[in-house]
Every structure is written in C-alpha cells, then in structure tokens.
Amino acid sequence: MTRPDPRQTAALSAALSRAVDLSALKARAEATAAPATPPSGDQPTGGYVVEVTEATFQAEVIERSLQVPVVVDLWAEWCQPCKQLSPVLERLAAAYKGAWVLAKIDVDANPRISQLFGVQSIPMVVAIAGGQPVEAFAGAQPEPQIKQWLDGLLDALRDRLPGIRAAENGEAPDDEPLEAVEEPEDSRFVAAEEAFNRGEYTAAEGAYQQILDAEPGNELARAALAQVRFLARAETTDPSVVVRADTSPDDLDAQLAAADVEVAQQRVEQAFSRLVNAVRRTSGDDRDRVRTHLVSLFDLFAADDPRVAKARRDLASALF
C-alpha cells in the first residue's frame, strides 16, 4: 500500500475541494467517445456507493469524509482490472453498512481529478478522511487483502470520525464531525481560483504568475499555472485535430494540438511519444518549439511520474 504524492495532496485540498467546473473540456472529450458506464454494471444502492464527478466531488467526497472514510475507486471503462476490483469494493461497501462510503470516479470523464491524485495507473484506490487523502493502493487486490486494509483504516480513524462508530452501532451519525480542521486560505490562491472558475484564464494565469514572481519556489502555484495554461488551450481545441496530425506528420500546429487533446483524454504516453517523434523530425526553431511544448506538458504531472521520466529520457535521446 502507498500514500498519495504530497504535491497532489496539496493541490487536491486547494483546488479540487472547490469543485472546479471543467464541463467545457469534459464535453469535448466525451464528444469523441461513447458514454462510460460503471464497471460492475450495477447501480449503486443503499447510499454506500456513489458515482462522483468533478462537480459533485466536494459534496460526495470531501464533506462525507468528515463523518466516515470515503474510499475513492478511480476506474475507466476500458480497464479490465477495474472490472474485477469494482464489484469487490461494492460488495464490501454494502457489508460494512455505512462505516465507509465507496466513491466511483471515471478518470476518462473526470481528468482533473485524475491529475490531482497523480494517477499513474488504474485501478487506483484512495481513502479520504477529514478532507485529506490518508492511504492508497493500486491494482486489483484479493478481497481478503482489501478487507484487511479497510479494517486497519477504520481502526485508525474510529476515534476521529464519528460516523464510523455510529454505522457500526446501527445509528445515524451526528450532524457535526468530532474533528474537522480548517486550514487558513491564502487570499492570492483564492483570487486565482475564482478567476479560473469563471473561465477567466488570462486573469488566473496572471494571478498565479504573481505568486511565482514573489515566491519562485512555490510548487503549488507552479503546478496550478501549468494546469491553467493547458486547460485554456485544451478547451478551445477540436478533438478531430488528432486525425489531422496522424495524417500530416509535418504539420507542427496539428502535432501540438493533438498532444493536448490526448493528455486531456488521459492518453498521456501517446501524447509524449507524438511530440518526441516530432522533435526527431525537426530542427532549429521548430524543434525548440516542440520541445518547449512537451516540457510544459511534463509540468502537469508529478516530477516522479514514470511516464514523465521515460519521456524525458526519450527527449534527451532525440535531442542528442
């Protein structure tokens, strides 16, 4: 079992808890793919299993986690191990009768959540308590091992979250959590995020850049700035550009735009490979333009993401 990346945890608290609305980007991505369905084919029942989107993350995950742990199941329709793991988690959620809640999130339909969790592969399961990620594991695990993990999680959190004992005793949880720590908000980030939520990307970019000008080492501002710049491009990019890029390898504008679309659709390796190959085919200013764009995409992910590490090695090979 592993813990989520600290940088992604910070970003989750500062940005995702405000339920950033990325409906325009999501709509573009969904326009090129069939609607996804839950892996198990079953509808959530009893309130122990909920389908979560970027718009409902605040209410269904952050707020619920102040009472009981919320176990987030990050999945996708094309993921075969997800189809093995999700039914197991659903059965266990029903068996524990509300001592914890299962939140199912389709990473293809909700790329922002996937990026903020630092998802490197799926299925990935993250436990949220008190509004913060506390434990995680990746891959389909045997049911006894998952149950052992859950029991350890509940034992560690039982004295902190009132809903655990209430559910175990067959009682309704109290309205107020026993422990909910509020961290003071940085007004600079609040202003930047409000501009971002209004779709004012230029203003948001300027606000994050001001933070970086004053604090060059502020990694949260750096990560947020990269996200804003990427989303400003991706929301205005037609997904059909991927076809044009595939048929016109010398069209640099198409290659860069296609890479943005692929990242937005969680096809990260394809995007990186596309641009590395473009670097190999180009020289001079064109090569530098592709390299700069590729490096900007690296900034969307944790520094130790293996996809980024591989792409950096491939880029170095292409350049030298």
**82 part of the active site:** yes
CB 245 within 8 A of CB 274: yes
**301 part of the active site:** no
- Nearest CA to 101 out of 76, 77, 66 is that of 66
CB 149 within 8 A of CB 1: yes
Which of 70, 79, 220, 263 is labelled catalytic? Answer: 79
Cα(128)–Cα(157) distance, integer angstroms: 11
For the stretch 33-41, contacts whose Cβ atoms lie closer than 8 Å and that sit 24 or more positions apart, written own/partner, are 33/108, 33/265, 36/76, 36/77, 36/106, 36/108, 36/109, 37/77, 38/86, 38/104, 39/75, 39/77, 39/79, 39/82, 39/83, 39/85, 39/86, 39/87, 40/83, 40/86, 40/87, 40/90
Question: In whole angstroms, what separates CA 189 from the centre of its chain?
Answer: 19
Which of 61, 82, 105, 125 is labelled catalytic? Answer: 82
Cα(89)–Cα(103) distance, integer angstroms: 10
Cα(189)–Cα(223) distance, integer angstroms: 12
Q: Which residues are catalytic?
A: 79, 82
